[in-house]
Amino acid sequence: MEIKASQVKELRDMTGVAMMECKKALVECEGNIEKALDLLRSNSALKAEKKAARVAADGVLKIFVGTEYATIIEVNSETDFAAKDSNFINFTNEVHDYIANNKISNISELHESEIEDKRKALVQTIGENIQLRRLDTKEFTSDMSAGSYLHSDSKLGAVVIVSGGDESLAKDIAMHVSAFNPLCLSEFDLDPEILEREKAIYMVQAEESGKPKEIMEKMIEGKLKRFLSEVSLLSQDFVKDSEISIQELLDSKNAKIESYSRLKVGEGIEVDNKSFADEVAEQLK
């Protein structure tokens, strides 16, 4: 039967799937919009499942800061090219609107929401593995302030909650957290395993120096102290004024950091860097 352009456009507007895919679905379903919609949803789920094993280490971050909570989320694509696609951008904006209207504490909640269907449809449209990888939501009360920083490429960002300060202070510290990537708030919060690993390294270095035991112990102690000051947020020099530490900045404002979160797109994902020739060969297979 003849499929009208208006039918294809209607299905395209409903799903965001490519025109040719919409027309094929309508032909297969003899022009029935509802059946074609179900078919496309089924196909998008299958294609999303097939592509799910492919590494998606690019993408963007989206940040929402409200009056009771702030959420930072990582949305991944396989390539930067796809991350700049208008369909991907529209999808991330929909994700932002969703987390703005729904307090999400775990990424699995999004996987069970209407956003998941839109993600699968986007996989079919773009042809890449698209993933909602991780998010972090920080709650705060009316006597606290929240601030965020998102780098110009939207691939690095942070959220900070402070008490006793204002939004401007929280934003400044969020910028600092993004730039310096502290491992903990204070030295007392550092993961003991990380500290022990560093200590073991310094012990080996000290032993190789051939110094007396008393001096080696002082060497280890000094390096551990320096390490803790470098990775603890409160001990770090403020990014906008290296003459003061974050703790000193907070003291000057009678403020305190309640919580913070930092994400960087693709962080922790192992990427297999293939040559162009290898990629072409793989495609030919």
What pLDDT digit, counting tens, does each position of 156-172 carry? 999 999 999 999 999 99
- Structural domain count of the chain: 4
- Look up the CATH number of the domain holding residue 201: 1.10.286
Amino acid at 233: L
Quote the pLDDT of residue 120. Answer: 87
Domain that holds residue 46: 5-50
- Calpha distance 160→257 (Å, rounded): 7
Q: Could you give the CA distance from residue 133 to residue 108 in angstroms, rounded to a whole number?
A: 10
**Residue 70 shares a structural domain with residue 124:** yes
Q: Cα–chain-centroid distance for residue 29?
A: 39
pLDDT attached to residue 61: 98
- Residue 185: inside a domain, yes or no? no
pLDDT of residue 272: 61
Are 99 and 112 contained in the same domain? yes
Query: Do 101 and 44 share a domain, yes or no?
Result: no
Helix segments in the chain, DSSP class H: 5-15, 19-28, 33-51, 80-83, 86-101, 107-111, 114-126, 167-180, 192-209, 213-231, 246-252, 276-284
At residue 282, the pLDDT reads: 52
Q: Both 56 and 118 in a single domain? A: yes
pLDDT given at position 19: 75
Establish if 274 belongs to a structural domain.
Answer: no
Q: Are residues 227 and 123 in the same domain?
A: no
Task: Supply angle C-alpha 165, 170, 172, rounded to 5.
Answer: 120
Give the residue ranges of the chain where pLDDT is below 50: 45-46, 48-52, 276, 279-280, 283, 285
Instruction: Using the structure block, give the residue that is written with the tokens 């395209």.
Output: 12
Q: Using CA atoms in the order 159, 161, 162, 165, what is the torsion angle rounded to 10 degrees?
A: 60
- Is 248 found in the same domain as 158? yes
| pLDDT at position 48 | 46
